[in-house]
Amino acid sequence: MQLTKKSSYGLIAALELAQAPPESSVSAAAIAHRYSLPLPFVEKILHRMRKGGLVRSKQGRGGGYSLARNPRDISLRQLLEALDESLDLVGCLSPGAHCELTVVCPTKKAWAKLGQRFKRMLDSLSLEDLLES
């Protein structure tokens, strides 16, 4: 598993929204400008997060994005899954994956166990937790 720029930029955007005052909106352009990120990519990420139910958008003057829930109620795992990131530590654990060693592989169970713990850790970390770091 390797997290992509999409997940890194998505976390940046989510933390920006989490820090914004309640009932305010932050534009994709403001986030992109502050961190020197490509605006079209930030817009796509925020759109995905909106489709995943993590953010809401407001059109027009003063529009932008805001979190759909309290930052303590959005886990890192929810964010990564909304961005369609794979959380499988190795490719053979992905749904539909094929590996010639599956039947005899001595490490598959170990990777699966580590993957479960990793996902629980991601479940246990909220955006609020990350703001406190």
Which residue pairs, CB below 8 angstroms and at least 24 apart, start in 67-74? Answer: 67/14, 67/17, 67/18, 67/127, 70/128, 71/18, 71/126, 71/127, 71/128, 71/131, 72/126, 72/127, 72/128, 72/129, 73/126, 74/14, 74/18, 74/126, 74/127
pLDDT of residue 1: 60
* Number of structural domains in the chain: 1
Half-sphere exposure of 125 (CA within 13 A, CB side): 16
Angstrom distances, CA of residue 50 to CA of 23, 119, 133? 16, 22, 25
Helix (H, G, I), strand (E, B) or coil at 52: coil
Q: For residues 108 and 114, what is the distance between their CA atoms, to the nearest angstrom?
A: 10
The confidence band for 7, taking pLDDT boundaries of 50, 70 and 90, is very high
- The more confidently predicted of residues 24 and 103 is 24
Task: Report pLDDT for 107.
Answer: 85
User: What CATH number does the domain containing 56 carry?
Assistant: 1.10.10.10
The answer, yes or no, to whether residue 126 has pLDDT greater than 90, is yes
Higher pLDDT, 3 or 1: 3
- What would the mean pLDDT of 70-94 be, rounded to a whole number? 90
Q: Which range marks the domain in which residue 31 is found?
A: 5-131
pLDDT tens for each residue of 37-50: 999 999 999 999 99
How confident is the model at residue 127, as a pLDDT? 97
| Average pLDDT of the residues of the chain | 91
Residue 41: Cβ-neighbour burial (10 angstroms; 0-12, 13-18, 19+): middle
Give the range among 18-32, 48-62, 104-118 with minimum mean pLDDT. 104-118
pLDDT digits (tens, 9 = 90+) for 61-76: 878 999 999 999 999 9
User: What distance in Å separates the CA atoms of residue 39 and residue 132, rounded to the nearest whole number?
Assistant: 27
Q: Token pair of 3, please?
A: 């997290």
